[in-house]
């Protein structure tokens, strides 16, 4: 992979990372609102929490890809 390709790849990963973080925050807010609602929908709440955990895992994976290699 050329240096330009590597830079473009890292840039697109950073953009995707920010998108995932925003979705994670939005889900967190939505879960809090749903949890506080009088007609709490357990199935929807479970699905949202599952999606939030999947986002967290994907965020961690992208962050690991963006971390520079440690010197030997």
Q: Look up residue 59 and give its DSSP letter.
A: H
Assess if residue 10 is contained within a domain: yes
What's the structural domain count of the chain? 1
Asked, for residue 46, whether it belongs to a domain, the answer is yes
In terms of C-beta density within 10 A (0-12 exposed, 13-18 middle, 19 or more buried), how is residue 23 classed? middle
Per DSSP (E only), the strands in 1-72 are none
55 is in which domain, residue-wise?
A: 3-66
pLDDT at residue 6, as a whole number: 81
How do residues 2-53 score in pLDDT, each as one tens digit?
888 888 888 999 999 999 999 999 999 999 998 888 777 889 999 999 999 9
In a domain, 72, yes or no: no
Q: What is the pTM of this model?
A: 0.78
């Amino acid at each position: 992979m050329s240096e330009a390709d590597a830079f473009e790849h890292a840039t697109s990963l950073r953009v995707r990372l920010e998108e995932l973080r925003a979705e994670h925050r939005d889900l967190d807010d939505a879960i809090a609102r749903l949890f506080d609602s009088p007609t709490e929908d357990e199935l929807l709440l479970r699905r949202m929490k599952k999606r939030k955990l999947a986002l967290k895992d994907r965020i961690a994976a992208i962050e690991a890809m963006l971390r520079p290699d440690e010197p030997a």
